[in-house]
Amino acid sequence: MRTRVILDTDPGIDDALAILLLAASKEISLEAITVTHGNTSVDKCLANALRLKDFLGLQGVPVARGASEPLVKSLTVAEETHGDGGLGYAKLPDATSSPSPTNAIDTIIELVHKYPHEITILAIGPLTNIALAIHKDPSIIKLINRVVVMGGSVHYPGNMTPDSEYNVYCDPEAFDIVLRAGFDFTLVPLDVTYKCLFTKKHIEKLAGAKPEIIKFIDDSTRFYMEFHDEYQSIDGCAINDPLAAAILIRPELVTLKEYFMTIELKGEFTRAKTSVDFYNVYKKAPNAKVAMEVDVEAFMDFLIERVKTL
Ligand code: RIB
Ligand code: CA
């Protein structure tokens, strides 16, 4: 049976790679793409999601506009990371598809009621839409099968501040609401995603894929690689979001460990830091399944293999 997924996203270069993977995977029934602020403005992210919908022939998938800013803090964008258009050097034709007439929050609520206990929410941007949806209709919390989030870090340094990962930093209050909601909650943190460095070698391995797919991946990730080199002295680019998508299809790619997790909302320097209680100091039941190890080669091979089927 196919896994019914709502993808909440801020495309975004690595978001785009996650959408390519989902589009190439028959195990997934992509019920909706809901768009949030994050890597760039919500309207630029929406335009990119619609472009990708057309580019990948996802005609039956509604794309819904979500939150334009976080719950409490001011808006943060990352155009130095993803480019001012959000897809690096990649240029896709303007979309012919239109956004759904239903906004992201109501799209989530309606789909969860339509498919009780079947929906997996894959969230690869700030969690504002998810937090707003469960605030508007708390009854969906018990009806959502699983929430998988790309975000946070455990031991690995933050990529926004020394202690915070970008998606969590963009809306820490939303992350806290979702973390406390009581979901079957899986976190894919920087600790594993920064082991998944996509390099020029992987571009070469795409030989055999459609030329337009290769060009899109090459043009988008080239910008992303330049960012990682300049700001983090990394060869290649951390493809965070496709790993979170991949574990819906190949759960064996990562090792999940259950922990009681917290997020700091007040620290002058540590705001948006995610922490796990390794030694069960708080004597609290686990609230998160955290991906702590990844089979990098198997993931990269899987991603490249699936992209070649597009
Ligand atoms: O920290 C990485 C995350 O922030 C990824 O989801 C990337 O797309 C950005 O949203
Ligand atoms: Ca993202």
Task: Report pLDDT digits (tens) over 5-49.
Answer: 999 999 999 999 999 999 999 999 999 999 999 999 999 999 999
In short, whether 167's Cβ falls inside 6 Å of ligand 1 is yes
Q: Which residue's CA is minimally distant from atom 1 of ligand 1?
A: 166
Task: Report how far residue 122's alpha carbon sits from residue 124's, in angstroms, rounded to the nearest whole number.
Answer: 6
The tokens of 267 are what?
């620290």
Using the structure block, give the residue that is written with the tokens 């929430």. 147
Tell me, what's the pLDDT at 153?
98
Task: Report how far residue 130's alpha carbon sits from residue 175's, in angstroms, rounded to the nearest whole number.
Answer: 9
CATH number of the 3-307 domain: 3.90.245.10
pLDDT for 62-92, tens place per residue?
A: 999 999 999 999 999 999 999 999 999 999 9
In short, whether 15's Cβ falls inside 6 Å of ligand 1 is yes
Task: Report how far residue 278's alpha carbon sits from residue 85's, in angstroms, rounded to the nearest whole number.
Answer: 40
In short, whether 122's Cβ falls inside 6 Å of ligand 1 is no
Tell me, what's the pLDDT at 78?
93
Separation of CA 175 and ligand 2 centre (Å): 14
Tell me, what's the pLDDT at 203?
98
Task: Report how far residue 206's alpha carbon sits from residue 308's, in angstroms, rounded to the nearest whole number.
Answer: 7
Q: Of all helices (H) and strands (E), which one includes residue 21?
A: helix 13-23
Separation of CA 166 and ligand 1 centre (Å): 6
**Residue among 52, 77, 124, 156 to mutate when testing ligand 1 (max atoms within 8 A of CB):** 124
Task: Report how far residue 153's alpha carbon sits from residue 158's, in angstroms, rounded to the nearest whole number.
Answer: 7
- The model's confidence at residue 302, banded by pLDDT at 50, 70 and 90, is very high
Tell me the domain boundaries of the chain.
3-307
Task: Report how far residue 154's alpha carbon sits from residue 163's, in angstroms, rounded to the nearest whole number.
Answer: 9
The closest-lying atom of ligand 1 relative to the alpha carbon of residue 10 is 10
Q: Is the peptide bond prior to 12 cis by the omega test (within 30 degrees of 0)? A: yes
- The model's confidence at residue 104, banded by pLDDT at 50, 70 and 90, is very high
Tell me, what's the pLDDT at 33?
99
